[in-house]
Amino acid sequence: MKNLKLIALLLFFVGAVQAQTSDNPWLISVGINGIGLQNDFGNPLSDGVLYEKSDFNSLSLGVPSLSVFRSIYGGLSLGAQFSANNLQNETGGSNADFYNIDAALKYGFARDSKLSPYLKAGWGFSSFDAISNSEYDASKSLTVTYFGAAGLNLKLGDRWGLFLETSYRATQDRPKVNYLQHTFGVSFGLGSGDADKDGISDKKDKCPDVPGLKEFEGCPDTDADGIPDNLDGCPEEAGPEENNGCPDTDGDGVLDKDDSCVDVAGLVELNGCPDTDADGIMDSEDECPETAGELENKGCPWPDTDNDGIADKDDACPEEAGTAEGNGCPDTPKDLLDKMNDIGSNIMFAADSSKLMGKKVLTAISEIKRVLDENPNAKIIIEGHASSDGSAQYNDALSLRRAESVQAKLIELGADSSRIEVKSFGESMPIDGDDSPQARAKNRRVEFKAMIIN
């Protein structure tokens, strides 16, 4: 009776599985089976005869073979199966009716391929019964059975297929025997999965892993803009269809996700930011947003103190209007300017000093005095320079003292003071960088500018 209760429990389990919702994927199989004994029976059947393997055909075919499996996760399925057969006795003795009923786990590989192998393992009951015994007791003919199986599915379409399976089975008692069971038949897929539980079968669901809406074939519309997430360039921000579902708050043609100035209409080439003065620098980075300027000067125009059209940074005479040919200085004979600066290149200073030292320096100043005497209509500007060794404020003062030292020496030699001006440029105009002792030495200097006066 105990075994009959187990059968009843197993049948109840199968019925419970079949009672799942129609959205669950099912595979129903039907076919024929073949039984091949692997050893002699370990104990008699119900007719009291101890049969041997050789008493029966090496392979007995029978029908039906039925199974129902339900996919539970990935390639794993849970199901139940039933087979019936009749073992043919070759010695003139009684045939043995056979049936088995099992619960099994099945795992399929490459399920989307044409050919899909699978493995199976399970537990159930088998019965070998000699029908010649009228006192046969079904409850005593059941034996617990464990088995493992391997099989192959061949797809014939979306739902239909063929299968071939071989299982090795071992019974525990009444009778104790090992046997092979081969099964061949057709399978039919029933129902369709709904992995995301949105009421749309996986087969029709374009977003099977995410709950969605029927009008979008199972895909969600997170931002409720009427464009499903799988087609929406900005699935979490509502936007019009012409922008692929992305917003453009300022309407400048640059989508918010690419716009560096979301609330102000701007230019595509500046990532949606405006450029009021059209100098190619966005207003947010332009210190003079309403006046066109240069990137190097943070969007502002370079100053031109003397309004000669030459920016102070390029103007050799930033406070006196000049010409481009004169680098911003008034027109002056080029040979005069070249001569003065050639002579002046010998006037150098020690670090942190404005003192004129050495015969070479004094000779150069005397030569400048001679040139002034030879050009009575010329006026010179002595420009003092410094290296960057000290602070900018200190270097401005030092470079002025250097220019004044040369001016004082020229006046001492008899030059007209009204023809000599001095200017200080500090460390702002190095001629040879400022990264080495040699470069800093060259930058401790004076330079000369000349102009013709009436």
- pLDDT, one tens digit per residue, over 142-200 is 899 999 999 999 999 867 999 999 999 999 887 899 999 999 999 998 876 677 788 78
Residue 306 has pLDDT above 80, yes or no: yes
Asked if the structure places residue 271 within a domain, the reply is: no
Kindly state the average pLDDT of the residues 56-69: 95
Residues 6 or more apart whose Cβ sits within 8 Å of residue 369: 410, 413, 414, 415
pTM of the model: 0.44
Q: What was the pLDDT predicted at 326?
A: 62
Most confident of 13-17, 299-303, 354-358, 436-440: 354-358
Q: Which of 167, 190, 213 is the last residue in one of the domains?
A: 190
Asked if the structure places residue 47 within a domain, the reply is: yes
CATH of the domain at 142: 2.40.160.20
Tokens describing residue 250: 């300022």
Q: What was the pLDDT predicted at 44?
A: 84
Q: What was the pLDDT predicted at 17?
A: 39
Q: What was the pLDDT predicted at 159?
A: 78
What is the C-alpha separation between 262 and 199, in angstroms, rounded?
39
pLDDT digits (tens, 9 = 90+) for 365-412: 999 898 888 888 888 899 999 988 889 999 999 999 999 999 999 999
Asked if the structure places residue 93 within a domain, the reply is: yes
Domain around 447: 332-452
Kindly state the average pLDDT of the residues 45-68: 91
Q: What was the pLDDT predicted at 136?
A: 57
Q: Which of 164, 190, 216 is the last residue in one of the domains?
A: 190
169: nearest Cα among 147, 144, 150: 147
* Residue, of 419 and 323, whose pLDDT is higher: 419
Kindly state the average pLDDT of the residues 243-256: 89
Confidence of residue 234 (pLDDT cuts 50, 70, 90): very high
CATH of the domain at 426: 3.30.1330.60
Confidence of residue 8 (pLDDT cuts 50, 70, 90): very low
Asked if the structure places residue 257 within a domain, the reply is: no
Asked if the structure places residue 403 within a domain, the reply is: yes
**Number of domain units in the chain:** 2
Percent of the chain with pLDDT over 90: 38
Kindly state the average pLDDT of the residues 79-90: 94
* Residue, of 184 and 217, whose pLDDT is higher: 184
Residue 29 has pLDDT above 90, yes or no: yes
Kindly state the average pLDDT of the residues 340-368: 88
Q: What was the pLDDT predicted at 5?
A: 40
